């Protein structure tokens, strides 16, 4: 089932097993409430697979470590046993929305306190792939935002502007009066949207970013295209998930400031 109906409408593509070679891995934030389970073949006391006629596959809950376009890495209980190239099923849950896809065990390593299991996903169709991409989108944006290496143009008198850039054309800008007086406002550009917040007004301001194509129109400052209430709610939800995946590449002050608006 899709997490979002009005945003993150990825282009249609076929299902199938993605090539895992070179697929970038994105660390999942500790605060991101994405629950994960892997369904593995049941085994006997010696670790041998049991025939389907005598057993049912077992679900193993675990901690997601990272996601990629090709699969996921998850830490499981030490009692979980699997073999490389073994068929399995990945189950993800977020906000009572369930995602499930066939997969294959790509790696299995026993550690002192857990088992590290890497899996390659085998999407049965484009709808399942799109659902997974939506769950992964906040992880990609939140984990890749880093301080901009270019000179930041100062555009608000009396305030210092800092900027951070990430994948998916994401740009985070913050304005403050210096480290001692804290931040005053922010703007996050993500996919086709902007999310803005400041300490003078409660809530978030959400809309299409400049240049976003909306049907046959282009949203600009002079002619903004409005978003419905439901549309804004989905963007606000995406923003909240992005904040839950922010990494320490962002200053702690920035992360704490954004968490205030994502609460």
pLDDT digits (tens, 9 = 90+) for 180-198: 679 999 999 999 999 999 9
Q: What pLDDT shows up at residue 222?
A: 67
Q: Within a domain: residue 5?
A: no
Q: Answer with the one of 97, 123, 140 that is the final residue of a domain.
A: 140
Asked, for residue 190, whether it belongs to a domain, the answer is yes
Task: Name the domain count of the chain.
Answer: 2
> Is the CB of residue 32 less than 8 Å from the CB of residue 139?
yes
Domain of 117 in residue numbering reads as 16-140
* Model confidence pLDDT, tens digit, residues 203-238: 999 999 998 888 778 888 767 888 999 999 999 999
Q: What is the pTM of this model?
A: 0.91
pLDDT tens for 69-104 read 999 999 999 999 999 999 999 999 999 999 999 999
Phi-psi bin for 171: left (phi > 0), alpha (psi -120 to 50), beta?
A: beta
| Element spanning 197, H or E | strand 193-198
Last residue of a domain, one of 86, 116, 140: 140
């Amino acid at each position: 089932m899709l997490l979002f109906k009005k945003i993150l409408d990825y282009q249609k593509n076929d299902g199938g097993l993605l090539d895992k070679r070179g697929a970038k891995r994105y660390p999942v934030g500790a605060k991101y409430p994405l629950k994960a389970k892997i369904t593995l073949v049941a085994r006997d006391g010696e670790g041998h697979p049991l025939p389907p006629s005598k057993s049912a596959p077992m679900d193993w809950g675990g901690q997601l470590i990272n996601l990629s376009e090709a699969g996921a890495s998850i830490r499981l209980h030490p009692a979980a046993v699997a073999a490389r190239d073994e068929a399995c099923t990945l189950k993800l849950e977020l906000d009572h929305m369930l995602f499930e896809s066939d997969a294959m065990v790509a790696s299995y390593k026993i550690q002192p306190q857990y088992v590290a299991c890497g899996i390659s996903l085998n999407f049965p169709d484009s709808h399942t792939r799109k659902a997974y991409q939506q769950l992964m989108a906040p992880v990609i944006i939140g984990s890749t935002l880093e301080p901009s290496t270019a000179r930041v143009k100062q555009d608000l008198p009396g305030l210092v502007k800092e900027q951070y850039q990430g994948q998916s054309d994401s740009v985070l800008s913050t304005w403050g009066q210096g480290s001692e007086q804290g931040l005053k406002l922010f703007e996050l550009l993500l996919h086709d949207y902007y999310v803005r917040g400041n300490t003078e007004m409660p809530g978030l301001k959400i809309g299409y970013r400049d240049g976003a194509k909306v049907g046959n129109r282009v949203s600009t400052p002079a002619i903004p295209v409005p978003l419905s209430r439901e549309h804004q709610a989905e963007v606000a939800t995406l923003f909240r998930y992005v904040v839950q995946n922010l990494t320490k590449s962002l200053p702690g002050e920035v992360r704490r400031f954004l968490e205030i608006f994502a609460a």
